[in-house]
Amino acid sequence: MSAQPLVSIITPVYNGAEDLAECIESVLRQTYTNCDYTIVNNCSTDETLAIARKYAGKDARIRIVDNDHFLPIIKNHNHAIRQISPESKYCKFVFGDDWLYPTCVEELVRVAEENPSIGLVGSFTMDGEEVIWGGPAYPCFKISGREVCRSKLLGGPYVFGTMTCLLVRSDLIRKRVPFFNERNLHADQEACFDVLQESDFGFVHQVLSFSRPREQSNTSFANDFCSIALGEFVILLKYGPVFLDRAEYQQRYKKARWEYYRVLAHNVLRIRPNRFWKYHKDTLAAFDCRMYWGLLGVSLIADLAEHLSHPFRAVERAWPWWSRTLNKTSKNRPAQPPSSL
């Protein structure tokens, strides 16, 4: 064990009683043995804390942090990642409704140890039906951090997945306080770009984790509020000037801005509530950008023209959104940004 670098595994969880035991057992079954494991309970109201305590009583590697007050999702992730051991060389997230295959930590650490310049290691994950998230072409297992970021900014595939997919070098976490940008719902992608400014990206071409989508999750909100499109745009605003030359950035910015405003135009026709527009305006403002209503108007005209040319397809695409909006209104249950986990 002493020859293995220490890995701090972190699970932030809120009301995860249904899946937490499976998550914890997957961590305890890891073939890699030099790990400590911290479960951060974010004021759960179900049996989450009792389940965590039961396992902690059986395994000394498990430590429980029980928040004294509820924290919003990204703030809680920052609180959780601050719990890594001072002696740890690597950090591994696994969310309470996800789990790891037995060789997950071993394979991720192997790639990191063989390549000291690597600061972030990814892998494939399953959602129960298929492999999700992409990766670099096999057999490539190491990519320049600069090149992987450039590829993504220029429209390439997203290869990072979620934090459950990743292993992060602890020294790169400690030098970034806070590690996650609490103004950005998709702060995990932003953190990856930060880390890769001074390190390389590693990848294991194996399925090493399982990710379980659930209602009221970050993913559910992302779909309802189109935050993925917004997240992609603000990442370009922040990191385009860092990783792209001026001509590349200007060309990509024009295209990305048009694509983002077309998404906004779709949502004008979906009768989105004021909180939808406030969320987008506030996030843009956090990245020193504002919403251009004139450009939104031009995008809306282009969207209407496309709908008029294919009216039946337009109604077919829009009806699910309209019906969901009416249903939420009738039940008086507006979608809100997720604040759990």
What percentage of residues in the chain have a pLDDT greater than 70? 86
Specify if 338 maps to a domain: no
Question: What pLDDT score was predicted for residue 134?
Answer: 80
On whether both 201 and 250 belong to a single domain, the answer is no
On whether both 56 and 73 belong to a single domain, the answer is yes
pLDDT tens figures, 62-80: 999 999 999 999 999 999 9
Specify if 54 maps to a domain: yes
Specify if 339 maps to a domain: no
Strands 200-210 vs 99-100: parallel, antiparallel or unpaired: antiparallel
**Residues 148, 151, 156, 160: what is their CA dihedral angle, to the nearest 10 degrees?**
20
On whether both 171 and 245 belong to a single domain, the answer is no
pLDDT tens figures, 298-320: 988 887 877 666 555 555 555 55
Residues 90-101 have a mean pLDDT of 97
Residue range of the domain that includes 264: 218-331
The yes-or-no verdict on residue 321 having pLDDT over 80 is no
Residues 114-126 have a mean pLDDT of 96
Question: What pLDDT score was predicted for residue 316?
Answer: 52
Question: What pLDDT score was predicted for residue 85?
Answer: 97
- The whole-model pTM stands at 0.85
On whether both 226 and 106 belong to a single domain, the answer is no
How far is residue 317's CA from residue 319's CA, in Å, rounded to a whole number?
Answer: 6
The yes-or-no verdict on residue 339 having pLDDT over 60 is no
Quick one: tokens of 10?
């972190």
The yes-or-no verdict on residue 103 having pLDDT over 80 is yes
Question: What pLDDT score was predicted for residue 222?
Answer: 63
Specify if 206 maps to a domain: yes
On whether both 164 and 109 belong to a single domain, the answer is yes
Specify if 23 maps to a domain: yes
Kindly report the average pLDDT of the chain as a whole number: 88
On whether both 243 and 300 belong to a single domain, the answer is yes
The yes-or-no verdict on residue 1 having pLDDT over 50 is no
Total structural domains within the chain? 2
Specify if 336 maps to a domain: no
On whether both 122 and 200 belong to a single domain, the answer is yes
Q: Between residues 318 and 134, which one has the greater pLDDT? A: 134
On whether both 174 and 30 belong to a single domain, the answer is yes
CATH code, 135 = 3.90.550.10
Question: What pLDDT score was predicted for residue 224?
Answer: 73
What percentage of residues in the chain have a pLDDT greater than 90? 72
pLDDT tens figures, 267-281: 887 778 899 999 999
**Count of Cβ atoms closer than 10 Å to residue 23 Cβ:** 24
Specify if 55 maps to a domain: yes
Of the candidates 265, 288, 291, 287, the one whose C-alpha atom is nearest the C-alpha of residue 278 is 291
- Alpha-helix residue ranges (DSSP H) falling in the chain: 17-28, 48-56, 73-81, 104-114, 145-153, 170-174, 187-195, 218-225, 227-243, 246-269, 274-286, 293-309, 311-331
How many angstroms separate the Cα of 296 from the Cα of each of 260, 265, 266, 267? Answer: 10, 6, 10, 11
pLDDT tens figures, 22-49: 999 999 999 999 999 999 999 999 999 9
Helix (H, G, I), strand (E, B) or coil at 183: coil
Which one of 210, 238, 271 terminates a domain?
Answer: 210
C-alpha neighbours within 13 Å on the C-beta side of residue 292 = 11
CB neighbour burial string for 178-205, b if at least 16 within 10 angstroms, e if fewer: ebbbbebbbbbbbbbbbbbeebbbbbbe
On whether both 282 and 305 belong to a single domain, the answer is yes
Which one of 210, 242, 265 terminates a domain?
Answer: 210
The yes-or-no verdict on residue 331 having pLDDT over 70 is no
Question: What pLDDT score was predicted for residue 212?
Answer: 82
Specify if 44 maps to a domain: yes
Question: Which H, E and C letters describe 2-40, residue by residue?
Answer: CCCCCEEEEEEECCCHHHHHHHHHHHHCCCCCCEEEEEE
Residues 71-97 have a mean pLDDT of 96
On whether both 28 and 166 belong to a single domain, the answer is yes
pLDDT tens figures, 222-270: 667 788 899 999 999 999 999 999 999 999 999 999 999 999 998 887 7
Which one of 190, 210, 230 terminates a domain?
Answer: 210
The yes-or-no verdict on residue 214 having pLDDT over 80 is no
